[in-house]
Structure 1
Amino acid sequence: MSDRTDDPAHLVGERPDLRADCGRCAGLCCVAPAFTASADFAMDKPAGQPCRNLLADFRCSIHDSLRERGFAGCAVFDCFGAGQQVTQVTFGGRDWRESPEIATSMFTVFAVMRQLRELLWHLTEARTLLPACPLSDELDRARERTERLTGADPDELAAFDATAYRQEIGPLLTRVSEVVRAEVRDSAPDRKGADLIEANLQGADLRGTGLRGAYLLGADLRGANLCKADLLGADLRVADLRGAFLAESIFLTQPQLDAANGDAATTIPSSLTRPRHWSASVTPAGSATARRRRRRR
């Protein structure tokens, strides 16, 4: 293996590059996708039409009050750096306003690029989780291949089947998950895709549990121990994470945290940011369940 991929610490340092840099984007997330009036969006917006809140300089006019103005869906969106990649690299700094002839292609490519960049986030994390094991070389190859794909030209990206590619890489991430989860439990439970909507999991011992794609909408996870739990694709919308231990969970992303509720006692991975809407104090429920969780560790 090369020196670059032999150093997991180097990969950790690269992960900030997989975050959105809105100042280098052309407001793609405010134009390309469609919005449907709901609890997440205060209006309908067809795909390819600019949001009414998008300014001429591609900034959002209500960025600091999205939730209060009915745009929670925007507040939890993360393109993993796809916006600046498409704007600055794929299209060489051009934008859909000054060059309307590229608009359709740009919006199509943005949707593909977001999937590739999110996959890069997970592959990078997987490599840091397993710095030296039989899967390391395979992870390096998958990551390098994905990076190359993000540098393809607009026509190649527009024709690329990103969904099929994610399904191709999925089994590799599953194998990583199995190895990591076995570190805390010899036979870690797998609740992949489980319906846990509004489930009472307060104080639950979920160490090493496979929760990939699980439906945890509104679930009570106060004080739950999610050490090494696989949360890839888990739906955490309005889940109560007060006092929960998430610092060592795996494949958790910023949008998942942003969609949930937590407090000062909730621990999160160092690669992620504590959501602004979370309570800055420790709630009584979160504090008590967090103490019980720590006693079990």
Structure 2
Amino acid sequence: MALIPDMTSDCANCSALCCIALAFDAGEDFAIDKPAGLPCPNLNGKLGCSLYNHLEDAGFPGCVAYECRGAGQRVTQEVFKGDTWARTPDITQPMLAAFATMRQIHDGIELLLVAERLDLPDSYEAEREALLDLYAPDEGWTEEQLSAFAASEAPARLKAFLPRLRDFV
């Protein structure tokens, strides 16, 4: 059976990956435009948000609403062993790629865990468990394994599996 990771965001153990990886457009959720791959200008030197205690008042309710489901700290702590893009700029792009894949993995795990509550036939339950094993391997993730996952059949298998659950919802 798959080892389910902690799916709770823990910003203190992340390296502000959402604050560099994600793009946002000025509007009701964000006060400024920021392209993907560039650090948010509100990041402080400790990779914390200088507006954290008043994000909504400062025009950043999108930051308050964002949830990585624990992908950020897993990439920082598990995959990159506590290193950060700020301390080691050469790992910025690999870290951002790992974060994108880990977010996809955590989204998949969440969907598979929700599907566990459905009254599925044995064959569907077996497929759900097999997918969960692909998305949550017992040995965890490395940068290489994340790259391989992104190119594997697992995302397409999940995408094909989920619509088949409609009759059980």
| TM-score using structure 2 length | 0.85
Match of 2:9 in 1: 20
CA distance in 1, matches of 2:72, 2:167: 32
Contact 2:22 2:36 in 1 (8 A): yes
Q: Which residue of 2 aligns with 1:239?
A: none
2:88 maps to what in 1?
A: 99
Tell me which of 41, 44, 51 is aligned to 2:33: 44
Which residue of 2 is the match for residue 268 of structure 1?
A: none
**Equivalent residues of 1:87, 1:95 under 8 A apart:** yes
Amino acid at match of 2:146: L
Closer/same/farther in 2, CA of residues 73 and 26 from structure 1, 3 Å limit: same
After TM superposition, give the deviation of residue 109 of structure 1 in Å. 1.2
* Alpha-carbon separation, structure 2, partners of 1:71 and 1:150: 37
Quick check: 1:35–1:46 contact (8 Å CA) kept in 2? yes
- Structure 2 vs 1, CA of residues 179 and 131 (structure 1 numbering), >3 Å: closer, same or farther? closer
- Which runs of 4 or more aligned residues in structure 1 lie more than 6 Å from their structure 2 counterparts after TM superposition? none
Read off the aligned partner of 2:10 and give its amino acid letter. Answer: D
Preserved contact between residue 116 and residue 150 of structure 1 (Cα < 8 Å): no
Compared with structure 1, are the counterparts of its residues 165 and 72 closer, same or farther at alpha carbon in structure 2 (3 Å cutoff)? farther
Partner AA of 1:24 in structure 2: N
Q: Structure 1: which 5+ residue stretches go unaligned?
A: 6-10, 181-297
Alpha-carbon distance in 2 for matches of 1:141, 1:163? 14
Q: 1:109-146 CA deviation, whole Å, 9 max, x = no partner?
A: 11111011111111011113337743211111100111
Q: How does 1:238-277 map to 2 (within 5 A)?
A: none
Q: Which residue of 2 aligns with 1:151?
A: 140
- The whole-number CA distance in structure 2 between the counterparts of 1:22 and 1:116 is 18
Tell me if structure 1 keeps the 8 A contact 2:9–2:73.
yes
Post-superposition shift, 1:104? 1.2
Change (3 A) 1:122 1:134: same
Alignment match, 1:31: 20
In the alignment, is the contact (CA less than 8 A) between 1:123 and 1:143 conserved in 2?
yes
The separation in 1 between residues aligned to 2:49 and 2:34, in whole angstroms, is 15
Higher relative contact order (CA 8 A, sep 6+): 2
Question: What is the alpha-carbon distance in structure 2 between the residues aligned to residue 49 and residue 163 of structure 1?
Answer: 28
- CA–CA separation in structure 2 for the residues paired with 1:163 and 1:67: 39
Q: For the residues of structure 1 that align with 2:64 and 2:140, how far apart are their CA atoms?
A: 28
User: Residue type matched to 2:131 in 1?
Assistant: A
Partner of residue 74, structure 1 = 63
Question: Against the structure 1 CA distance between its residues 64 and 21, is the aligned structure 2 distance closer, same or farther, given a 3 Å change threshold?
Answer: same
CA distance in 2, matches of 1:104, 1:150: 24
The alignment of Structure 1 onto Structure 2 pairs a total of residues equal to 169
Partner residue, 2:50: 61
Given that residues 131 and 154 in structure 2 are in contact (C-alpha distance below 8 angstroms), is that contact kept between their aligned partners in structure 1?
A: no
Distance 1:164 1:66, change over 3 A: farther
CA distance in 2, matches of 1:91, 1:107: 11
Question: TM-score by structure 1 length?
Answer: 0.51
| Distance in 2 between residues matched to 1:149 and 1:37, nearest whole Å | 41
Q: Give the aligned residue type for 2:166.
A: S
Query: CA shift at 1:149, angstroms?
Result: 9.8
Amino acid at match of 1:63: Y
Aligned identity (percent) is: 37
Larger Rg: 1
Letter matched to residue 101 of structure 1: D
Matched, 1:119 2:80: no
Q: Secondary structure at the match of 1:176?
A: helix
